[in-house]
Chain A
C-alpha cells in the first residue's frame, strides 16, 4: 500500500490519522424511527382535521423543523462534543443566511404585492 499513489495524496490532508468509528448502528436506527414518525405525522396532519385547520401550516412547519433536527443529530451527528463545535458555528451562520433570504424575500414581495395597482384585466 505504501507505493500506492493514494499514499502521496493522504500526506497532504491536514490532521492526524485516526481510526475511530464515527457512530453506532443504534443512532441511525433511532434516527430512522423518529424521522418516519415525523413524516407520517406531517402527512396525516396535512390531510385530516386532526389539527385546528388554520393551525395546520404552523403544525407542518414545526414537524419539518423537528425532522430536520432529527436528521442533523442522528444522521449528520452534530452533537455537543468538541469535534462538532466548528460545524455547529458554521451551521448557525448558514441558518442565518437561509432565514434572511427566505423571510426577506417573502416579506419584500408581500409588501410589493399589497402596494400594486389593481390589474385592469382582473
Chain B
C-alpha cells in the first residue's frame, strides 16, 4: 500500500495520465485486476462460441429435405427475446451501479428485475424449442437443426447458469452485505451477463434474421 503512494504522486482513485499496473503509475486497483482476469475467461468463452457459430455457418444450408429457417422461426418472438435480454443487461448494469453506491435495496430490486427478464427470455426460448421438436424439427432432423440447437442451446445454457449465479450472488449480498469482495463478484457477473448479450446479437443476426432472409 505504501509503495502505491510513494510511486504515484496523484492520490489513489484520482485520475492519472500514466498507466497504472505496469510499473510507472503504481499498482492497479483490485477491481481492475479482477475484471481483467474475468475478461480473459469471457474471451475464451467467445472463442468457444466462435466454433459453434462456424459450425452453424457451415451447416445452415444442409437441411436434408427438412424444414428450412424461414419456415421455422417466428421473428416476433425473437424480437421479444432480444428486448428481454437487452433490458436485463440494462437493469443488471444499473443494479451494479446501485451496489457500488452502497444502496443494497435498490441493487436487489434491479437484480430481481434482471432475473425476471432473463427467465422470460429462457421461457420463450424453451417454448420455441419444444414447439420445434413437436413438429418434427428436432436436433436429429438435419445438420442445420443440429447446429441450430447446439449454438442457441449453448447460449441458453449460459443464460440459465447466469441466472443461477445471480441467485447465489443475491444470497451473498443479503448474507454478507456489500463488501469489497462481494462487489467485485457482482462486477464480474455483470461482465458475464453483458457478454451473453453480445453473443445474442450474433445469434439473432446470423441465425434468425439472415435465416429468414434466405
Contacts and interface: CB of A to CB of B under 8 A. Distances in A.
Main SS of chain B's interface residues? Answer: helix
Given A10-B180, A47-B75, A42 B29 contact: no
Contacts of A91: 39, 43
Nearest to B182: A6
A24 B179 CA distance: 20
Contact of B209 (A28, A35, A43, A98): A43
B176 interface: yes
B202 A64 contact: yes
A10 B183 CA distance: 12
Given A17-B180, A18-B31, A57-B213, A23 B93 contact: yes
A57 B210 contact: yes
B27 A15 contact: yes
Given A42-B209, A56-B213, A83-B28, A16 B4 contact: yes
Contacts of B93: 23, 28, 75
Given A15-B29, A97-B47, A76 B194 contact: yes
Interface residues of B, number: 69
Contact of B94 (A15, A28, A35, A68): A28
B151 to A, nearest CB: 12
12 contacts: A10-B180, A21-B101, A25-B94, A28-B93, A32-B90, A39-B83, A64-B202, A75-B89, A91-B39, A97-B50, A101-B51, A102-B57
A102 B48 CA distance: 11
A83 B32 contact: yes
Q: Please list the 8 inter-chain residue pairs (A to B) with the smallest Cβ-Cβ separation, ordered nearest first.
A: A105-B54, A15-B30, A94-B43, A82-B19, A18-B29, A46-B209, A98-B50, A64-B205
Interface in B162-184: 176, 179-182, 184
Interface string A91-116: 10110011001101110010000000
B86 A102 contact: no
B181 A71 contact: no
B33 A90 contact: no
B195 to A, nearest CB: 7
Contact of B50 (A16, A20, A101): A101
* Chain A binding surface, main DSSP class: helix
B205 A90 contact: no
Contact of A46 (B26, B51, B184, B212): B212
B105 interface: no
Contacts of A75: 89, 93, 194, 197
Contacts of B206: 64
Nearest to B194: A75
B139 interface: no
B92 to A, nearest CB: 9
Contacts of A31: 90
Interface string B3-45: 0100000001100111111000111111111111001100100
A87 B75 contact: no
B28 A15 contact: yes
B30 A83 contact: no
